[in-house]
Amino acid sequence: MQSLSNRAKILEKKPMTLAERAYLPAIFQGLSITLRHFFTKKATIRYPEETRPFSPVFRGLHVLKRDEQGRERCTACGLCAVACPAEAITMVAGERKKGEQNLYREEKYAVSYEINMLRCIFCGLCEEACPKAAVYLQADKMAPPRFERDEFIYGKDRLVEPVSPDTRSKRGIQLTAEQADKLRTQLA
């Protein structure tokens, strides 16, 4: 059958040599590629023992911030959950009782606050939507590897900033030495 454009190239089929019939050129080509990879730089690292440097625009692990007096900032308004495009944030709001003024800043607080790290795309919209600056993405931390899916749902026990003023995030609200001492005396 002749092509319509008359650009068809007629190829002659050459008879294969003995080496080609035994696939020797293809075997040596594959071995040369394998040997070349022994001497090239590895594309992978031994995570979690080794870590790569973070990008300047990297958004890391979430943290629920406390105010200067050690109270939770989150008022369970739900704007972070609404802003989340992956619907990774769920919360249950509750009202503060008498005697809990030193725990929660506002009258409403999040009784339960969960972030599903398997759904989270680390876009940072929750941080931008929060009117109380309670949600913060730490650029120096990332979600550690886990073996079970349940371990990727972070509750308040893992999200709320530790009470100790000495273990605060570097990019978060830093207390001065006087504020840290004052907070230590209040918590004691």
Which residue ranges make up the annotated binding site for [4Fe-4S] cluster?
74, 77, 80, 84, 120, 123, 126, 130
> Is 59-161 in CATH node 3.30.70.3270?
yes
Q: What is the model's pLDDT at position 188? A: 66
Q: What is the model's pLDDT at position 172? A: 43
Question: By the 8 A CB rule, do 89 and 80 touch?
Answer: yes
Q: What is the model's pLDDT at position 40? A: 94
Q: What is the model's pLDDT at position 171? A: 39
The domain limits of the chain are: 59-161
DSSP-assigned states of every residue in 62-121: EEE-B-TTS-B------HHHHH-TT--EEEEEEEPPTT-TTTBSSSEEEEEEEEETTT--
Which residue ranges make up the annotated binding site?
74, 77, 80, 84, 120, 123, 126, 130
Instruction: Check: pTM over 0.75? Answer yes or no.
Output: no
Q: What is the model's pLDDT at position 155? A: 92
For the chain, which ranges sit under pLDDT 70? 1-3, 164-177, 179-180, 183, 186-188
Question: In the Cβ-directed half-sphere of 184, how many Cα atoms lie within 13 Å?
Answer: 10
Q: What is the model's pLDDT at position 176? A: 61
Between CA 110 and CA 92 the distance in angstroms is 6
Q: What is the pLDDT of residues 116-133, one digit of tens each?
A: 999 999 999 999 999 999
Q: What is the model's pLDDT at position 135? A: 94
Look up residue 144 and give its DSSP letter.
P
Between CA 94 and CA 37 the distance in angstroms is 59
Q: What is the model's pLDDT at position 183? A: 65
Q: What is the model's pLDDT at position 74? A: 93
Question: By the 8 A CB rule, do 81 and 129 touch?
Answer: no
